[in-house]
Amino acid sequence: MWKPLAVSSRRPGCGKVADPQGGRSPFPGGESASFPRPCIALGMGRVGDHGGMDTNTLFTMALGLQTPWEVKSLDFNAADRRLDILVDFQRGASFPCPICGQPSKVHDTEEKTWRHLDFFQHAAYLTARVPRCKCNEHGVKQVPVPWAREGSGFTLLFEALVMTLVQAMPVAAAARIVGEHDTRIWRILHHFVDEGRRSRDMSTVTQLGIDETASRRGQNYITLFMDMAARTLLFATEGRDAATVQAFKEDLSDHGGRAENIEEACIDMHQAFVNGLQAQFPNVHLTFDRFHVMKMANEAVDQVRRVESKEHPELKRTRYCWLKNPSNLSMHQRQRIQGLKCSNLLTAEAYRMKLTLQDFYEQPNPVAAGQFLEEWCDMASDSNLAPFVKFAQTLRDHATGVLRWFVKGLTNGILEGINSLIQAAKAKARGYRTARNIIAVAYLLAGKLRFDGLEPLWGSPLGSATQSPT
């Protein structure tokens, strides 16, 4: 049974407030300390200080309902910590046809309930008879309600709260705060991410950054496509092969972009990406990311160390001493490597070659860089260190893309930052169950999406709160 929830000018049991100010009122404007402001209470009554406004009218205004919608009654259950708000439309009301907008009479109704923002610490639910109107031209059509989107069991304000929370914490944590199962929160997240991506314009995209991130341990990858100019995640999909590039091309076309407009792409030396880009984007120039070039150099150093450590135990547990830049070494690591790096050890020789390669990116122009690269590759090939001989050949095979850095200066550092954010989010959430969920989080963190259906509900756009890492 629907019971009225009344508003009283005084809360039962409220008396005078102790005044720490020596008799002066603690309220702004010198108000009395006996609570003259109205408080919501159970029972019958009126808000006497507000023109005789009854409770239903107050809640109608608070919910922002417009004619013909209004609050009819309220049912508060303290034991269940629940407030039910019954919303109805005025007798004889007509509604615009959802298709043509012509006023139409109500044909029939269907009762529906939506979870709303909590009423203090109590769960609040809106229940309403949702009408179907009969249009002379288009027949019987269901009328959309102004407080919720079609098919959702939540009000728009509740979903706006959820989307704010999931930008700041794992979905499971947000679910605990609002008191819903996380699968329902994921459905909200997926809906608005999909809606945000649907309106994305890719017509101006000319520069791509491509990298992969692990969705879980093993060989499960998600490939990320970034607009390098806008520093925005454009597309994410499972896999790390040429098919992912084809999938991005199709998505680019669906959002107003053209393959012919793609002029630059920054990638690692993964051959599937190379083949896919050259096949799908006829005007693209490839830049092989300097981060991955130096990563390959570090991998070569570590391969040498692992083999040599079998005969030189002093090299054990020194891996990160050789991989870090000298300026990033801790005091202990600096002391550990001090004597080793000047020795005749093969690992020390490999380390010195890696440091020399870092000077490659300090060259003043592409011509000087090309000469430096050729000389370094000759040195690495003559070293007889198998990992460096192989690495030098790889650099020669990809020299055009390596040297392209000196033309455009593209780097995937922004993608590495996004990758770190995704992995940190996974760690906080102790993993996500599906690749689809990881992709949704990636869009949320780096997609700079606009949630147009929710933005009018808040003072500033929700999407503006999401900043890409720098």
For the chain, the structural domain boundaries read 7-147, 201-288+411-448, 290-408
| CA angle 367–370–371, rounded 5-degree value | 90
- Provide long-range contacts, Cβ within 8 A and 24+ apart, for 378-384: 379/353, 380/353, 383/349, 383/350, 383/353
Handedness of CA 133, 136, 141, 146 (dihedral sign): negative
Helix (H) or strand (E) holding 272: helix 271-280
**CATH code for 201-288+411-448?**
3.30.420.10
Kindly report the number of other CB atoms within 10 A of residue 62's CB atom. Answer: 10
Ranges of the chain with pLDDT below 70: 1-53, 216-219, 429-431, 453, 455-470
pLDDT in tens, 213-269: 877 665 688 999 999 999 999 999 999 999 999 999 999 999 999 999 999 999 999
Kindly report the number of other CB atoms within 10 A of residue 409's CB atom. Answer: 10
Percent of the chain clearing pLDDT 70 (strictly above): 84
Residue 279: predicted pLDDT: 96
Residue 218: predicted pLDDT: 57
Nearest to 267, CA basis, from 305, 302, 223 = 223
Pairing mode, if any, of strands 264-267 and 207-216? parallel
Handedness of CA 391, 394, 396, 398 (dihedral sign): negative
Q: Exposure of 241 by Cβ count < 10 A (0-12 exposed, 13-18 middle, 19+ buried)?
A: middle
Helices 413-428 & 435-446, crossing angle to 10 degrees?
120
Residue 460: predicted pLDDT: 37
What tokens does 229 get?
Answer: 């100019």
Distance, first Cα to last Cα, the chain: 57
64, 87 contact by CB (below 8 A): no
CA pair distance 74, 60, nearest whole angstrom: 11
Helix (H) or strand (E) holding 108: strand 103-119
CA pair distance 266, 207, nearest whole angstrom: 8
Write phi, then psi, for 269 (nearest 5 degrees): -90, 20
Torsion angle (degrees, nearest 10) of CA 333, 335, 339, 342:
60
Residue 431: predicted pLDDT: 65
Residue 432: predicted pLDDT: 76
CA pair distance 113, 18, nearest whole angstrom: 44
Residue 219: predicted pLDDT: 61
Write the single-letter amino acid at 297.
Answer: A
CA pair distance 282, 391, nearest whole angstrom: 28
Residue 43: predicted pLDDT: 31
| Chain centre to alpha carbon of residue 202 | 19
Gyration radius of the chain over CA positions: 32
3-state secondary structure of 197: helix
